[in-house]
Amino acid sequence: MATKKSIEEIISSENDKSLQQIGEKVFNKKRLNEEDGVMLFERASLPYVGALANYVRESLHGDKTYFNRNFHIEPTNVCVFSCAFCAYSRLYANREEGWELSAEQMMHIIKSYDGKPVTEVHIVGGVHPKLNMQFFIDVMKQIKAHRPDLHIKGYTAVELDYMFRKAKVSAEEGLKILQEAGLNSLPGGGAEIFHPEIREQICADKVNADGWLQIHEAAHKLGMHSNATMLYGHIEKYWHRVDHMERLRKLQDKTHGFNTFIPLKFRNKDNDMSHVKESTVIEDMKLYAVARLYMDNFPHLKAYWPMLGRQSAQLTLSFGVNDLDGTIDDSTKIYSMAGSEEQHPSLTTSQLVSLIKQAKREPVERDTLYNVIKNYKDIDVMEMEKNVLYN
Ligand code: V47
Ligand code: SF4
């Protein structure tokens, strides 16, 4: 663990005075401004920004690294939108190339986890023109009737915006109805890059920044928590990233409803942006580190291992990250179809615990809201592998 002294030495031996001042701000818990954020991306070395981010991470969480036991359901990949980075969606006209799960099929997936110690189902998919709000209300009621304690984290602000416009209800009204039907929290997807200069090039037709933020604000006001993502490493400039984080930080100051910030690495396979190079591991680590420093009011920073790959995800634990999402168990096509290293993302609990222990961190199983379920610090991975509940 980095000691106070060692971080002070690192800051004072930084030759670039502006970067040194940023380090002092971090050390003194003063907020970074947008200029600081851009400067870190442009000028800071990875070891410097990494040491600062690790210092913040360890001050907040020590070695604790959270994960949860969850699974994903993607109801459909048919989508009315056509985001340039998306390798997964199919337009309604080509829907025979995609899939649409019925309520029965979704319940079949839910029931396949009976007796398994999962705590969360993550439901995210395309925006199907024929699936309306009532369909999702009925599904959630069935899920809760079958397994009341399963936390439903579902529907991005993009899916919700379309659902609510179709049902002619406001975000507040729509979310209240969904909450009553069983929705517990919102995932962070659909945020991409908020600034219109980029948004208009990569996902012009879906909900804009203000719409996305309004939906999350409305959810927070109803007492629901949510996450926030940022799709990085494509055509955006550093200042677009900082602008994105700034908008999220402002809303968080107001509501304190976000749990986790999740940077998502752009993958370039089989989409309309295949000509755009993917970011390097160095750029990835730097992004996580700057995010940890900038998002000072977000308690958690998550690396989504299916998108990054397991090894890079392990590495992020030294660059500010304190959460690795979960076991995920899924055929999560949204990532494998865009060229992520994980073709069928799923880790057993013992594999995830082992991954965290190899990075010399402390694995802690959490529920969606970060209540601790179990600390695996003193649990032997070899013993876990013999127990069916962890495999
Ligand atoms: O918004 C799509 C991303 C997101 C690509 O809240 C891509 O816990 C990279 O919401 N390269 C949806 N990313 C996923 C999502 C999510 C994922 C994990 C955890 C949570 C959470 C939420 O997937 C989309 C988009 O940004 N995505 N295509 C691609 N080619
Ligand atoms: Fe549809 Fe989401 Fe893909 Fe965009 S990213 S095309 S909204 S499924």
For atom 21 of ligand 1, the residue with the nearest CA is 187
pLDDT at 274 over 70: yes
Rounded Cα–Cα distance for residues 236 and 192 (Å): 10
- The arithmetic mean of pLDDT across residues 165-187, rounded, is 98
Cα(124) to centroid(ligand 1), Å: 9
- What is the residue extent of each domain of the chain? 4-61, 64-390
For atom 16 of ligand 1, the residue with the nearest CA is 189
CB of 231 sitting under 6 A from ligand 2: no
CATH architecture of the domain with residue range 64-390: Alpha-Beta Barrel (3.20)
Backbone angles phi, psi at 48, to 5 degrees: -70, -55
pLDDT at 73 over 90: yes
DSSP calls for 163-205: HHHHHT--HHHHHHHHHHHT--EE--TT-S--SHHHHHHH-TT
pLDDT at 88 over 90: no
- In this structure, the number of other CB atoms found within 10 A of the CB of residue 161 comes to 22
Rounded Cα–Cα distance for residues 253 and 1 (Å): 29
Residue 272 pLDDT grade (very low, low, confident, very high; cuts 50, 70, 90): very high
Which ligand 2 atom is nearest residue 158's CA?
A: 7
Cα(111) to centroid(ligand 1), Å: 25
Task: Lay out the sheet containing 258-265: strands in order across.
Answer: 70-73, 120-123, 151-154, 185-186, 225-232, 258-265, 300-301
pLDDT in tens, 32-62: 999 999 999 999 999 999 999 999 999 999 9
pLDDT in tens, 309-366: 899 999 999 999 999 998 876 544 555 555 555 556 678 888 899 999 999 999 999 9
User: What is the structure's pLDDT at 85?
Assistant: 96
CB of 264 sitting under 6 A from ligand 2: no
Cα(192) to centroid(ligand 1), Å: 8
Name the average pLDDT for the chain.
93
Cα(269) to centroid(ligand 1), Å: 15
